Structure 1
Amino acid sequence: MKILITGATGFLGQSITSFLLGKGHTIHYLTTQPKKLLDSTRYHGFLWNPKKGELNVKSLEGVEVIVHLAGESIAGSWSKEGKERILKSRIVSSQLLFNVLKNNSHKVKNIVCASAIGVYKNSDQWQYENRSEVASDFLGDVVLQWENENRKFESLGIDVCLIRIGLVLSRTAGALPELIKPIIWRFGSVLGSGNQYYSWIHVEDVTRLFTYAIEHNLVGVYNAVAQEPEKNKEFVKKLATKLDRIIWLPRVPTFMLMLVLGEKHVLVTSGQRVSNDKVLETGFVFKFPTLDKALSNLLNK
């Protein structure tokens, strides 16, 4: 199968691309940087510039599925300009894809789009795809607009799958290395109340889930999280145990995190208890269903 990927050179994009290539698929990918253009047997790069509305239509030749991951990291600045970049990087890239597909002949049947569990309200109640409390903050607004833009592909007769990704655990990128550092140096502590849930997923499982969505033509919204969300205080404790450390410092109160991080404090002090029942009902099997198994794998413990 020939698959077009946006955001292929990012952290998750690289993992998904590598996995799909390993399964024999041919990958076309879009990049804004000429120096990242490669062309090999089953891996072909094409230029696009969402800000200028430019996309090389040759990237669509023979493509049946699009994996749409493009979007600026929420770990960046949350200034007024930073927030605008985070939102526009998602909306503008989706609009460009939509217009190109609308105005050119193609064979695309499905699009699998990244989304985020940030759409759910900070709560200790279980959140489901079709039964949830929607967040009224910046992240909630971004995800709602992002998903609404991607649902428009349905009007072109294309099946749409939205994968709401939780906290992705990887040894080399994302949040886990940042959580590990203070614990290794014996300065780790519980953040905020410690009772906020972290709905997480191993990078290998989220990679496999995107592939599963492609190969099984999943349609609709799915939560990409393992079945055992952990409260921050338990998450930190289990991570420290795996690293042969103890947590001796008192918890860092929310007001202090607000002073240091500003509005971005919600990334660590808020959390969602998210269900993966719908994913399991499709027959998908998690390789790392528990935090213990995930951390053992990632930390070689």
Structure 2
Amino acid sequence: MKILITGATGFIGSALTSYLLSKGYVVNYLTTDRAKIKDAIRYHGFYWNPAKSAFDSEALVGVEVIIHLAGSSISKRWTAKNKEEMTSSRVDSTRFLYQILEAQKHEVKQVVAASAIGIYRDSLTEIHREDSAAVDSGFLGDLVQLWEAENRRFEQLGIDVCLFRIGMVLSKNNGALPELIKPINRYYGAVLGSGVQIHSWIHREDLVYLFEFAISHQLKGVYNAVTPHPVTQRELVYDLKKILKKPLLLPRIPAVLLKLVLGEQHVLVTASQRVSADKILKEGYEFKFPEMGKALANLLK
């Protein structure tokens, strides 16, 4: 099977591409950087630039599934300019991809796209499922709603759409984990906020497997991409303290101080979202790293 990936050279996309190639898939990928275009056995790069309406139509030849991961990082400062880029890189690129598929002949049967648990509101008590009606009222909630709405438009073309609402992704060298490890290793680590806020998370390896699972099982609809065992901020920091064998010398950093330092972006560490994995479990997916201890032992060994 031939798959087209956007965001293939990013944090998730690079690992996913390697895995799909190991499973025998043919991978085409889109990039806005011509220097990243490669042509190898079962791995072919093509140029696109949604901002300039540029697209190499050869990228779609023989493609049955599109994995849509494109989107700029939400970890950079939430300035007005960066927030606009975070939105346009997701919404505008998806709209452009829709216009391409609408305008030319293709064989695409399924789009599997990234989304985020940022759509769910901050709560210590709610369990968020895919059909939860309450939506976060901040920037992330607005962004994810727009993002998902654009992806659902592919259904108008007779294409099945699978959306993964992704939690905190753990990886040794990228994402949240290195940022959590750094202060602990330098002896200024501390519990952030109240410490009781809940983080719903997933090991990057499981996330990669989930995307392939969606393809091989022809999934459609919305699925939470999180493990069945969320943790509190305090549990996460203390698990890291234990495995890194470092003391926590500083007291808890209160949410009000984090808000002063980070502004609106403080929600990335202080918001609480207990997100259910029940739906994907009922589809038959078995997590390789369902619990934090096992995940950290794998990543930090």
TM > 0.5: yes
Classify the secondary structure of the residue corresponding to 1:64.
strand
Q: Sequence identity of aligned pairs in percent? A: 55
AA aligned to 1:221 is V
Measure how far apart 1:139 and its partner are.
0.3
Q: Which residue of 1 aligns with 2:138?
A: 137
Code of the aligned partner of 1:12:
I
- The equivalent residue for 1:255 is 256
- Give aligned pairs, total: 300
* Code of the aligned partner of 2:6: T
Give the equivalent residue in structure 1 for 2:270. 269
Give 1:258 deviation, angstroms: 1.4
Partner residue, 2:174: 173
Deviation for aligned residue 1:132: 4.7
Aligned to 2:62: 62
* AA matched with 1:169: L
SS of residue paired to 1:9:
coil
How far off is 1:216 after superposition? 0.6
SS in 1 for 2:66: strand
Equivalent residue of 1:51, what SS? helix
Alignment of 1:27-106 (within 5 A): 27-106=27-106
User: 2:148 is matched with which residue?
Assistant: 147
Which residues in structure 2 correspond to 1:108-257 (within 5 Å)?
108-124=108-124, 125-257=126-258
Distance (Å, rounded) in 2 between the aligned partners of 1:241 and 1:132: 38
CA offset at residue 131 of structure 1? 2.5
Give, in angstroms, the shift of residue 255 of structure 1: 1.4
Gaps in structure 2 of 5+ consecutive residues: none
Question: Which amino acid is the alignment partner of residue 161 of structure 1?
Answer: C
Cα distance in 1 between the residues matched to 2:64 and 2:13: 18
User: After alignment, is 20-29 or 179-188 more displaced?
Assistant: 179-188
Normalising by structure 2, report the TM-score: 0.98
Query: Counterpart of 1:168 in structure 2: which amino acid?
Result: V
Alignment deviations for residues 21-54 of structure 1 (CA, whole Å, 9 cap, x no partner): 0000000000000100000010000000011111
Tell me the alpha carbon deviations over residues 169-207 of structure 1, each in whole angstroms, 9 at most, x when there is no partner. Answer: 000100000000111112110101111111010000000
Shift >2 Å, 4+ stretches: none
